[in-house]
Structure formats: structure tokens, C-alpha cells
A and B are shown apart, each in its own frame.
Chain A
Amino acid sequence: MTGADLRARLRGNLVAGNLVAHAVLLMGTALFLLPIWLVFVGSTLDSGAINRGDIGLLPRLEGLAIYPRLLSPAPGGVPVWRMLALSFAMALAIAAGKIAVSLLSAYAVAFFRFPGRMLCFWLLFITLMLPVEVRIIPTFAVVADFGMVNTFAGLVLPLTASATATLLFRQAFVLVPDELVEAARMDGAGPWRFLRDVLIPLSRTNMAALFVILFVYGWNQYLWPLVVATDPRLDTITVGIVRMIGPESRTAWNEVMATAILAMLPPTLVVLAMLRWFVKGLTESER
């Protein structure tokens, strides 16, 4: 077989392979998008149609008016804007808090020799097995003792520690060559300067990737906000959607679905905006 033949055959295989790959990808995409599309279609119907189970695959264009209506701050209406803003603030605070806390604890564990260092590390590790859902009663008791029930701080603070992020940062820090640390010491950089001038810039991509994951995590919080904030002014969008669902016949399903669509937008936008950084953070390292 000549080289040209071989190349042509390889290209043929490649085309066939690409077709299969694309078919699989398209199927996967459809599988993920179909429910979301149905929610969107449902949001444009009137609520009676949904109760009858009468949903097609095409949206009713005049039904789109529900979006401006939900987003307008009409008195007595559903405060969707408010809930979106609160969820956004909460997700942002949780992501930022988790990154700040885990960055510092990873720094301590990775670079400093202190008594009980490995104990600290393992304690952190163990908390991986204790998400909020498991420790919700003691956590609530603590937050209540601090008088933070029904406050924004109470919503955010118990979620700002992250063993996962700490471990990720620690792994990244352990890979920093000793020589670099020593060079910084010779240059006269103290621990804070080293963190600020060297470690944080080197961890930028890691931080971006973590931010995306943690923002979505924060946005999706449901149980904790439900428990700690009974004040309707502190309803997050996830809690709000559920509150909109009343007894079967009186639920405005089109409003629920439209709110669900709106609730999906901010995390999607964050992911899209950070996508390049996200991939970079997961795949490449600066070192």
C-alpha cells in the first residue's frame, strides 16, 4: 500500500469515526436539552394546559409575555428579581468564601511545619464525609447560638469551608518546587508576600475552575437556605420556586416553569463566561 492510499484510508476511518462521535454527542445533547426545552415550552402555556398534561413541543409565542411580567417588580407579584439577586449574592459569597478559606488552610498545611499539622490535614479530609445535609441539626444549633438565623451571614458562613477545595489547593501547592520557595525566601519575601506574589498568581487557573464549580454548588443550595432562613425576604430562587408550588389545582405552573428557566440562566452565564479559564484550570498548570 502506498503512503497516499494509507492516508486516504486513515482519513476515511477518521470521517466515519467523526460521524459516530457526533451522533453520540448529538444524542447526549438532546437528552440533556429536551427536559429544559419542555420546561421552556411549558412556561409559555397557560397553567390550565399544563394541569391537563397538554404540553406540545412548540412554545406559544404570546406566552413569552410571562417573562417580563415575572421580572417586573410588581407589588404583590412573585419577587423573582429579588430571589435571583439573593441567590446570586449567596452563590458568589459561598464561592469566594470557600476559595479564600481553603486557599489559606491549604497554604498552612502545605508549607508550614506546626504541631498537629497532619492531624489538621486528616480532620479536613474527614469533613469530606460530612456535608451540610448530614450535620444540619448541629450546624443549625451553632448558627442559632450566634444569632444568625434569618441573616445573610447565616445563609453563607456555614457553607464557606470546603475540604475538596482545600485538598485541590494543597495538591497544587505541593507541586510548587522547593527551590521556588527558597528563591522567594532569599529575595526577602515573607509568608504573606509569597502567598500574594507567587502562590495566588500561580493558582489563578485553579481558582477560576474552582470558582465555577463552587458557584454552581452555591446556587443549587436548597436544604440549608430552607432551614436557616424562614423570612420570605431571604428566599433564594431554589427555595422560591418550591414555595410557588401550592396545592395542585392552584399552582400557576407556567410561572413556576418560567422561574425555573430564569433560575438556570445565571449559573449558565457564569459557566460560559469562565469556560476558557475552567478548561485551562483543569487541564494545564503554569509550572
Chain B
Amino acid sequence: MAGLVLDQVRKSFGRTEVLRGIDLDVAPGEMVVVVGASGCGKSTLLRLVAGLEQPSSGRIMLDGEDITARDPAARDIAMVFQHYALYPHMSVFDNMAYGLKVRRLPRAEIAARVEEAAQMLHISPLLGRKPRELSGGQRQRVAIGRAVVRKPRLFLFDEPLSSLDARLRTSMRAEIKRLQRRLGVTSLYVTHDQHEAMSLGDRILVLNEGRPAQLGPPMEIYARPADTAVAELIGDPPMNLLPGWLDANGRVRLETGDAGNGRSVLVGIRPEDVAGGRPDGDGLALGFTPDTVEPMGAEVLLVGRLETGAAFSVRTLPASFALGSRLDFHCPAQRLHLFDPGSGQRIGPAGPAAR
């Protein structure tokens, strides 16, 4: 078995259990993005793989070798840090070369590797500068370069783009993806940004309170979130979650009141799955009163309340909307997501009403 394998990895700090049994299998050359709200344990997971922390129990394997107890330097892993972590007194060249110097590579080899990585990252003209003379984006390129020259078996990224401005983040995101594909190095990438997770990951691991909530390709996670935590995290703006019930005929109802012999559920509706007008057939009718319009460019986000009083948002094409008055929207039955109100687990992509 090659690639990175985590086997029931747990980590506690004192009495706080931060990671509660993580299993993960990253194929060689694959990029898995770990995403979750802050405090979900995603950074701890990365630090365990890096060797900066020791797991309380469980095993970490890389390319078939058990590296759980190994020193970080002996794991053949390179890491890109959130705040770049460049050595402030060293030139860009020395920053990238340092790990190789420590490993006593021949000088010519070091120079060749640094030049190659610098070219790849378009920082060749900067090699003589000090980190403080660089912009944030350039610093992050150097930090990535420092990981690249090591030619490691595994890349770790710890929210590398979170200190960059939004525009730079988008372009660096594409660049990291290109680079990772080109080098074919197995990668684990941690972020709290679902855009980043969606666009970068071959697969996404969603962590929730130290447990793996869902693992799968981005579009699958988007299409079939395993529970309410995933549903709220993946997708922007987040999915609407409304209390409702399945009536005796298996139709989804939002109306409050007695569920009768039906089953109470949480109904998930993505803002972009909502269309104007009354439903034809078995869609779910939504009487919606918008009170705010947020222009998003190609689309607008309407924020307001449903007839039931629940907060709701709709993403739709721009038009003139009468704020404060009730409008008819609907969601096709096959686009409804149903969750158990107790456990938050997914019940179905849609209720029996989808038939």
C-alpha cells in the first residue's frame, strides 16, 4: 500500500480529545483537502502527519513505512506554513537551500534544484532578496519553493493562502494545483475555506469536532452532504436548513405544527436550487419574503424569511424584486436534502416525494 495512510489516529491534549479516530487513505499523487470549522482538529491532524506532534494512539504510514514515531526531519515530508515561516535573515536562495544544506547535498545539486524550483514559481529574480523585501504572495511562493526543492514524498499545506488577499488567493490556488499535478507529489492540504477545498482537492475530508464527517470528491460532497455540518460548511452561501416533516404520503412539509403520523426532519435547500414561481408537480412551494438583496455580480442573493418564519436565502438571476412582499418560489423535489433533526445525519437525497 503506497501513499499516506492514517489508521485510527487519535490525539488528546490533556483531557480534551481533539482527534477522535481518523482513518484516511491518500493515494500516491493525490491531493486531499482537509476542511472544517476552526477548532475541528484539522491543523492538529496535519501536525501529526508532519511529526510536530505525536498521536495519542493510531498509526501513520507513508509509502508502506510506519512513520508514527519518526522525527519530522526523517519523514521525507515538506510543509508550507500559514505565515510562510521564512528565515528572516536568509536570502530567498538560502531559505530554499537550507533544508538541503542540512541534509548535506552537494553544492551544485542544491543550486540546480533551487534554480529549477525558482523558475517553476517565477521567483528567479528574487533569489538574492531577503524575505522582508518581498510581498505576501512572493513570500508564499518562496515557502512553496522551499518545500518543492526537497523533492519530498509528501507535501503538507497548512492554510497557506489564508494570509493573502482574495485575488491573490484565487491565482495562487490555481498555481498550487498546477504545481501539485505537475510534480505528482502526494499532498495533504488543510483549509477552513470551502472554495479552496472544492477547487483544490481531488478528494475532500470534512472534519467536524475531531471526527471525519465525510470523505469524497468535491462534487459528491456538494451533491450529497453526509450530515448537516457538512451541508452548512460546503457551499457558499450555505445551505438553508429548515425544520419540517414527512407526512403520511411521504411528502415534505415545511408547515409547523403537528407532524401527525409523519416523521420530523430537517429540510436542506441550497440557495441556488430555488426557482421562481409555483411548483409544477411535486416540488416544494416556498412563500418567501426577501428583505435584502446582495448583488454578487452574475447573480444576486436574496435574504429574508419564509412564511413559516424561518430565515432563508435564494440565489437567483438579477431582476427587480419587490422587497418586503411575498414572492412565490419553489424547489424541485429531487433537489431537497433531508436530515435527521436529532443526529444531523442525512436521510436521503430527497424524501419519497421525489418519486
- A182-218 with Cβ < 8 A to chain B: 182-190, 193, 197-198, 201-202, 204
Q: Closest Cβ of chain A: how far from B238's Cβ, in Å?
A: 31
Let me know if B85 is at the binding interface, CB within 8 A: yes
Let me know if B73 is at the binding interface, CB within 8 A: yes
Q: In the complex, are the beta carbons of B73 and A185 less than 8 A apart?
A: yes
Residues of the B chain whose Cβ atoms lie less than 8 Å from the Cβ of A197: 87, 98
Residues of the B chain whose Cβ atoms lie less than 8 Å from the Cβ of A193: 102
Residues of the B chain whose Cβ atoms lie less than 8 Å from the Cβ of A189: 73, 98, 102
Q: In the complex, are the beta carbons of B102 and A179 less than 8 A apart?
A: no
- A163-193 with Cβ < 8 A to chain B: 177, 179-180, 182-190, 193
Q: In the complex, are the beta carbons of A201 and B81 less than 8 A apart?
A: no
Residues of the B chain whose Cβ atoms lie less than 8 Å from the Cβ of A185: 51-52, 72-73
Q: In the complex, are the beta carbons of A182 and B52 less than 8 A apart?
A: yes
Let me know if A287 is at the binding interface, CB within 8 A: yes
Let me know if A286 is at the binding interface, CB within 8 A: yes
Closest to A181 in B: B85
- B73-132 with Cβ < 8 A to chain A: 73, 77-79, 81-90, 98-99, 102-103
User: In the complex, A275→B81 CA distance in Å?
Assistant: 37
Partner of A198, one of B72, B73, B87, B146: B87
Given A201-B89, A202-B88, A286-B89: A188 and B99 interface contact (C-beta under 8 Å): yes
User: In the complex, A221→B39 CA distance in Å?
Assistant: 55
Q: In the complex, are the beta carbons of A186 and B77 less than 8 A apart?
A: yes
Q: In the complex, are the beta carbons of A187 and B50 less than 8 A apart?
A: no
Bin chain A's interface residue count. 20 to 34
Given A188-B73, A189-B98, A193-B102: A183 and B88 interface contact (C-beta under 8 Å): no
User: In the complex, A182→B72 CA distance in Å?
Assistant: 9
Q: In the complex, are the beta carbons of A183 and B102 less than 8 A apart?
A: no
Partner of B79, one of A180, A183, A188, A286: A183
Q: In the complex, are the beta carbons of B83 and A186 less than 8 A apart?
A: no
Residues of the B chain whose Cβ atoms lie less than 8 Å from the Cβ of A190: 73
Bin chain B's interface residue count. 20 to 34
Q: In the complex, are the beta carbons of B102 and A186 less than 8 A apart?
A: no
Closest to B75 in A: A186
Residues of the A chain whose Cβ atoms lie less than 8 Å from the Cβ of B83: 177, 179
User: In the complex, A187→B82 CA distance in Å?
Assistant: 16
User: In the complex, A184→B73 CA distance in Å?
Assistant: 9
User: In the complex, A186→B77 CA distance in Å?
Assistant: 7
Residues of the B chain whose Cβ atoms lie less than 8 Å from the Cβ of A204: 89
Main secondary structure on chain A at its contact with chain B? helix
User: In the complex, A184→B82 CA distance in Å?
Assistant: 15
Residues of the A chain whose Cβ atoms lie less than 8 Å from the Cβ of B85: 177, 179-180, 182-183
User: In the complex, A201→B91 CA distance in Å?
Assistant: 13
Residues of the A chain whose Cβ atoms lie less than 8 Å from the Cβ of B86: 183
Q: In the complex, are the beta carbons of A179 and B81 less than 8 A apart?
A: yes
User: In the complex, A186→B102 CA distance in Å?
Assistant: 11
Q: In the complex, are the beta carbons of A180 and B87 less than 8 A apart?
A: yes
Closest to A201 in B: B89
User: In the complex, A184→B176 CA distance in Å?
Assistant: 22
Q: Closest Cβ of chain B: how far from A201's Cβ, in Å?
A: 4
Residues of the A chain whose Cβ atoms lie less than 8 Å from the Cβ of B89: 198, 201-202, 204, 286
Closest to B104 in A: A188
User: In the complex, A180→B83 CA distance in Å?
Assistant: 9
Q: In the complex, are the beta carbons of A286 and B98 less than 8 A apart?
A: no
User: In the complex, A183→B83 CA distance in Å?
Assistant: 11
Q: Closest Cβ of chain A: how far from B213's Cβ, in Å?
A: 27
Residues of the A chain whose Cβ atoms lie less than 8 Å from the Cβ of B102: 187-189, 193
Given A188-B99, A189-B98: A179 and B82 interface contact (C-beta under 8 Å): yes
Residues of the A chain whose Cβ atoms lie less than 8 Å from the Cβ of B90: 201
Closest to A189 in B: B102
User: In the complex, A198→B99 CA distance in Å?
Assistant: 13
Q: Closest Cβ of chain A: how far from B100's Cβ, in Å?
A: 9
Q: Closest Cβ of chain A: how far from B32's Cβ, in Å?
A: 19
What per-residue 1/0 map shows which CB atoms of B51-67 lie under 8 Å from chain A?
11000000000000000
Closest to B73 in A: A188
Residues of the A chain whose Cβ atoms lie less than 8 Å from the Cβ of B79: 182-183, 186
User: In the complex, A202→B130 CA distance in Å?
Assistant: 13
User: In the complex, A242→B50 CA distance in Å?
Assistant: 64
User: In the complex, A186→B95 CA distance in Å?
Assistant: 13
Partner of B88, one of A184, A186, A187, A286: A286
Closest to B79 in A: A186
A-B contact pairs, 29 of them (CB 8 A): A177-B83, A177-B85, A179-B82, A179-B83, A179-B84, A179-B85, A180-B85, A180-B87, A182-B50, A182-B52, A182-B72, A182-B85, A183-B81, A183-B86, A185-B52, A186-B52, A186-B72, A186-B79, A186-B99, A187-B99, A187-B146, A188-B73, A188-B99, A188-B102, A188-B103, A189-B102, A198-B89, A201-B89, A286-B88
Q: A183-B81, A184-B87 are in contact. List 8 more A-B contacts (CB 8 A).
A: A182-B85, A183-B79, A183-B85, A183-B86, A186-B77, A187-B98, A188-B73, A188-B102
For the complex of A and B, the 6 pairs showing the least CB-CB separation, nearest first, are A188-B73, A187-B99, A179-B85, A183-B85, A188-B102, A201-B89
